[in-house]
Amino acid sequence: MSKKIMLGLFLLLTSCFMAACQKEVAPTAQPETPLPTATLLPSATIDWFPRTPTPLREVSPTPLATEPTKVTVSEEDLIALDDFSDETMWQTESSPTGTIAYAKNMLTLAVAGNKQSLTSLSTHKLPADFYLEISLDTLMCSAGDQYGLILWNNSQSGTFRLWLNCDGRIKLERVLPEGISQLVNWQTGRKLQPGSPANHRIAISAKDGLLEVYVAGTLQFSYELHANPEGILGVIAQTGGELPMTIRVSDLQIMKP
C-alpha cells in the first residue's frame, strides 16, 4: 500500500475519533423520588345534640315517728282507758320499803333497795280475753332489778306475773298457793332496752286460751292457757341488790281482742 493511502486512512480514523469524543454524554436518568403522600385526618364530628347530665330527682326522707302509734278503738270495744289522772284507780304506798305515788298522768314505784318489792293493784278487772297496752319505763334501774305486770290476780288459775329485768330479759310465771312455777323462763327480750332510763310499750293479747306478749310491737313469746282466768291488773317492781330503783307506769288501754 502506498504511503499516500496509509496517510489518508490515518487521518480519517483520527477525525472519526475526535468527533466521537466531542459528542455530549447523555446524563444517566435518575429515578424520580415520589412525593410524600399527605395523610388526611378525619374531620371533627360536630355534636349537634350535646349530652347534658340528667338531673337526679330529690327524694325527701320519710320523717320518723316521734310518738308511739295510738290504737284507735270504738267505745263498744273499749274495756278501760286510764291516763292515770284518777288517783283512785291504783293503790299507793309510802313505807320504808319505798313509795308508790301519782305524778302527772303517771304512777311511780320507787323501791328503796335491799332486795325489796312494791306492788300496786288497780281497779281494772281483766276478762279471759282482752288486748292491753301500757307503758312501763325505767327511771332508775340496776342489774338484777326487775319489774312488770300482774295479770288475773288471785284467779282460779293463780296469779300470772310478766317480768322484765334491767338486763334486757323477760319471763312469765304463775303464783299458786303451793308455790311459783316458771311458765316461760328468762329469755332475751327483742327490742327490750336494758338499763335506764328506758321506755317500753308493752302489749298483751289473750284470746281463746292463747297469751301473747309484745314489746314495741315485737312478739316476745306465746303461752297456751289451760283455763279462762279472770282477775285484777297490777304492777310490781323488785330490786335485786342494795341500790334503789324507780319505774313509771302510764297510758293504759284495755280493749276486747
* pLDDT tens profile 49-108: 343 333 333 333 333 333 334 456 678 899 999 999 999 999 999 999 999 999 999 999
Terminal C-alpha separation, the chain: 164
pLDDT reported for residue 74:
74
Instruction: Please tell me the predicted confidence (pLDDT) of residue 9.
Output: 52
pLDDT tens-digit series, residues 131-163: 999 999 999 999 999 999 999 999 989 999 999
pLDDT at residue 4 in the model: 52
Domains of the chain, CATH where assigned: 78-255 (2.60.120.560)
* pTM (predicted TM-score): 0.71
